[in-house]
Structure 1
Amino acid sequence: MDKQIYLPITQSRPKKIAFVDIDSTLSSHIEATNVSQLLDHRLTNKARRLLEERGYIIAFITSRTEEMLMSIKEYNLSVKKYQLNRPLSRFTKENTPQGTLDPHIIASSTGGKIFVRQGDGGYIEDVSYRNSSLSPFEWRTKTMNLLTKLNTNGSLFVYSSIEHVEDFHNGSSKVFPPDYRIQIQFRNPADLISFKKVFKQYEPELYAINDSWPQEHKYALYISPVPGKFEAANRILSMIKKDTNDPLYLPEILFVGDSLPDIYEAIYSTCKTSTLFLVGGSRMTPYLLDPKKNDFVGDDLKGIKKEMKMVSLGVYEYRHANRICTIIVSDEKYPGLVGPESLIEYLS
């Protein structure tokens, strides 16, 4: 069945594959309201168009849920033909850049699930990728019970606004809770670090993915049955390579993002060679470039930075275990350009 799922991709024997983040990368953050945070939809659409014109098969690997990345047409086909069982979000498609919809592949909820667009329309899930034998409801119930026990008197963290079904039904949340991911938010980095130390002792089969943004005073973890976006990227690559039945098949790989999970996605990739494009305005720029900034809310970056060697201004080479990843830091290479603006400059 898996082979049939990926067939629409492997039939074209893609020479280039781009794994692209959405929020604060290809587009504004979904909940951005400040004028300075909002980006022109035309920039998002142009960046998407350039990726396709350059011959990339596009996989969105994002914190957004799968239905948020589908047009109404593809959503309806996915429900009708492939039993997609999620309600539409309340973010209107009219206000959504077309460039953030209908990619070839969707890895939703920070890499928790994978969907592949079929040749005759609609997305089908790669169910065997799921890293849990529980249904989404069972997994969420079990995991939230554990988290609630660890949340001393409710003082350590709060759940994100999208984590409660009743909030979606009463209209206070615009997105139905993700199937296999829970976001928790902390008041300060010390609480997050303290929680991570305790959490792993209680549940070794769950992962705490750091999606903090210190510059915005946002400290957040995603609790997931998969360790991060890199798990989904490696699954997609392995399935595509397997279906080509060619041991020498080596597509050009581009990762595009702005956050720590995006960095891990690139450096933990099974690709022998790849490129990571950190868009302008990335929260990670000061941590990668300042030799004194090595602690990213509990994640030690010294090992990564030690393996990074400058090639030219804004371009670094990361070598580890016979793998080479070229890292482009847009804030250094294309100063003043943010998000999709920097990607457009790179692709142009």
Structure 2
Amino acid sequence: MYYESFLFTRSQRRDFTAFIRPKDLTNREVSTIASALNYVQAGDLANLTADWPSLYCFPIGAYVLLLRHYDSGRKHAGREIGIIEGIAVRRTQVRHFALALPHILAHADELLSVAATVIDLEAQTIETSPEREWLELEAADIPSAAFVTEFVTRQADERLFLPFNETGRSMLLATLSDRRFPSLYFGFGTNADVLTRLLDASVDVDIVSFFNTTQPAFRNRATNAKSGNIDGYESAQNIRPRKEPPSRKSDAPAASDNGEKGYNKKQPNVAVPTPARRRTGDFRAAHHDTEPDRPTTPLTPREMKRQLEREAAARSASGEISPRSQRGLIYRLLRWLKGS
């Protein structure tokens, strides 16, 4: 089996950039990944570290990607800068990848750490990853678990939801190590918006862990309603490991920044597309069923305008407000924002 590496992030000199990329991964596919992960809230990203990152495995283009996402410890315009790094295996070699995946995942700190190989990010040029040969290694023998047996029979209609903690990670490894489980695709440490954006790009996963998921369960693929509990996994490991964040260094915002946050701004190297129309059966139901209300990061005027337009459109559809009043409300708000 051969694999290629990738590293997507931003520096002081460059906006979000694919510094190291697989040879046949297109700009559009990089943009799909960046656009989706941009929906991780700043508070959640700040809690992700190289020792405890989000983990994803999914197919896109010519590859199957195994990546991790975490806070770099740097900031730009007051917002955390994320690192997206990992390996890409061509779909033609997915059978070999399936055998290697449990071992790679168990040693992700070493095998997926691409940023650690870059001496100076500011001096890093854009490069194409070489193909490297994977030396076949046997993964540790993990006993078969009863919940995996049940999931194999449910997988066609249901997804497996796991807690985002050590217990959930152990269950993820147990599932991927079981030869009866035919899929490799998961999002461990994520939210509904990220997975919905990926689903809009026809990228689906079978195993899910939201940031605030605390109990394992099965959920219906179409409705995301809980369809079954998994008992016996309320262990002492049910506490998510946390680490004191490193000292942060703020990048000076560019003159053309205009206060916009995140990666959805001018990107000379990679263009982030506008999210596609939401599909039915997305991850919203599961998200709202498991995630309590909480404060979000401050919205920019543009983001506030879009949110108000969506809310006004919903009220108009339900007969609560007329389209004319809707436009007037938005106009008055924009005048107020412009004057403030």
Give the TM-score normalised by structure 1: 0.29
**Higher RCO (CA 8 Å, separation ≥ 6 residues):** 2
Between structure 1 and structure 2, the one with the greater Rg is 2
The structure richer in helix per residue is 1
Q: TM-score by structure 2 length?
A: 0.29
